[in-house]
Amino acid sequence: MRYPLLIAFIISLNSFLKAQDCTGYHKYHCPYGDYSFYTSQQSTSALFRRGQTSEFNMVIYGDEDYYIAVCGHRKLGDLHFRLLEDNKERNVLYDNAQDDFSESIVFTNEVTRNIIVEVTVPESGSGKDKDLRCVGIVVQFRETGETEPKF
Amino acid sequence: MKAKFLALIILVGFVVISCKRDSSRKNDNDTKDITLGIEDIERDIQKVYIRFPSPEEMFTFIDSTGLQYDNSLLLPVSVYDKYLDSKSRALNLGTYIADLAYITLFQQYKETMDYFQVVYNMTENLRISPALNESLMNRIEKNVRNIDSLKVLSGIAFDDISDYLIRNDQEKTFVLISIGGFVESLYIAMNIIDEYQVGNETIQRVADQKLVFDNLIKYADAFKGDSDIQQVIGILKPVQDVFDQLHLEENDTRTGRDDKGQLVFSGGNRYIFSDSEFEELNQAVTEARKKITSTN
């Protein structure tokens, strides 16, 4: 074969042009809360690069308990997520780095508010991994105190 | 030489075609590889995503035991086939989805099935019926007397519709469905309140819709180049004007733990209605709903 480099280039171009459609990733890859929770439409998935930080602006209702989980491909390592108040101060309400990079959190919310779920995918140790991968966010809710399974 | 060059061209063609086939073949719910150009990839890597709760989530807090079910608030099932263009079909699919959430809350079994059927028919009219599969419809039929299962199944249905639309580059339709659903759920919530009372939790939940509305409009703004979206945002302008007038009661947010060690977010700002603002919003929402559900 006289064109090995060209063929290798074409194959690598093919791989590069293949990115991931992340729609629904969270449904099949993220842990869910127990059966006392309903799933919120605000659950979502998105495409991330190494070292990327993205924000997910959401509304959480008052007098509800929330379960939020953030997950991604194991090759991404520990995902860092924070819950921030959506205002000028952007106060940190929760930081999973202070919680051993826990994948999920349950909390009670007393007043309806906007929050930002800020997700950061760590840089690759070698700096060589340029893969694009999916990250999912599961948001579930229940009336505060309603801890009985629904099903 | 020419033959080898030709073979190379065929190989390139094969690689490109295989990418495209890949994207059309894998359309189920797992992670999928699809062909994207470099610009598409950059577009898909966003820094900020806007999300908002569904109509069903808005109704969840309502304790139906003390309230009277009122089917005159609903858009009748008989008019669903009067919507002939894609904009009104999408908007009113949202209306019917919100109605369904209300009906489910009051465990109206016959109407639940009727409205699920209309939701399905509307997805057919919009040519997005593959979003709802037959097994889901069967599960709904089997669980029609189980309110918790129905809540979950209607959530799955809404989610399946949104995933289908996003996956098929029809997010604009999802915006219209969401706006229709938002207006209908607000219309119903305002009409199940007998009279304005300070501290009433349903009234507070209606005031809280300002936050949902703001996120919905930010989300819709990404599609404002579309004339249908622009027109519908125009319909919502009077609603926005009333929401923008609401008084913001400022309080510090506190984080702590309850006696079981669970994280608690307390305090924080909240929007408050006056009696007259509540009435103004009621009028603005009723007017917007009238325009959206009009069959003319």
DSSP string covering B31-89: -EEEE--HHHHHHHS-SEEE----HHHHHTT--GGGS---GGGSPPGGGGGG--SHHHH
| A130 confidence band (pLDDT: 50, 70, 90) | low
pLDDT at A17 over 70: no
**What does DSSP say about strands B247-249 and A53-60: parallel, antiparallel, or unpaired?**
unpaired
Structure tokens of B270?
């909240």
What single-letter amino acid sits at A32?
Y
The CA distance from B275 to the nearest CA of chain A, in Å, is 20
- pLDDT tens column, A23-34: 999 999 999 999
The chain B residue lying nearest A64, using CA atoms, is B61
Q: Domain coordinates of chain B in residue numbers?
A: 1-49, 54-241+275-293
**Which residue numbers in chain B have pLDDT < 50?**
13-35
What six digits make up the tokens of A78? 């520990």
Instruction: Give the count of Cβ contacts less than 8 A between chain A and B.
Output: 194
Q: Which residues of chain B form beta strands (DSSP E)?
A: 32-35, 48-50, 247-249, 253-257, 263-267, 270-272
- pLDDT given for residue A129 in this prediction: 60
Q: What is the pLDDT of residue B3?
A: 59
Residue-level pLDDT at A58: 97
CA distance A94 to B86: 43
Chain B residues in contact with A3 (beta carbon < 8 A): 4, 8
Q: What is the pLDDT of residue B129?
A: 86
Nearest by CB: B57 against A6, A49, A141: A141
What's the pLDDT score for residue A145?
A: 83
Distance CA B257, CA B148 (A): 29
The predicted-structure confidence for A28-85, as pLDDT tens digits, reads as follows 999 999 999 999 999 999 999 999 999 999 999 999 999 999 999 988 999 999 999 9
CA angle centred on B250, ends B244 and B252, rounded to 5°: 140
How many Cβ atoms are within 10 Å of B11's Cβ, its own excluded? Answer: 15
Number of Cβ atoms within 10 Å of the Cβ of B247: 12
Predicted ipTM of the assembly: 0.86
% of residues, chain A, pLDDT over 90:
68
pLDDT score recorded for residue A125:
66
SS3 A148: coil
Mean pLDDT, residues A102-123 taken together: 96
The reply to whether residue A108 touches residue B11, judged by beta carbons under 8 angstroms, is no
State the pLDDT at residue B148. 80
Dist. CA B67–CA B191, nearest whole Å: 11
Q: Which of B146, B211, B213, B270 to mutate to test the interface with A (most CBs of A within 10 A)?
A: B211
Q: Please answer yes or no on whether A110 and B264 come within 8 Å at the CB atom.
A: yes
Pairwise CB contact (< 8 Å): A57 & B37: no
Residues contacting residue B160 through CB under 8 Å, at least 6 positions apart:
B131, B132, B133, B136
Tokens of B95: 């209306």
Domains and CATH numbers, chain A: 22-143 (2.60.120.380)
Tell me whether residues B267 and A49 touch, CB distance under 8 A.
Answer: no
Among B15, B60, B266, the residue with its CB nearest the CB of A14 is: B15
pLDDT at B33: 43
Q: How far apart are CA B41 and CA B63, in angstroms?
A: 45
Is 60 exceeded by the pLDDT of residue A8?
no
The reported pTM is: 0.85
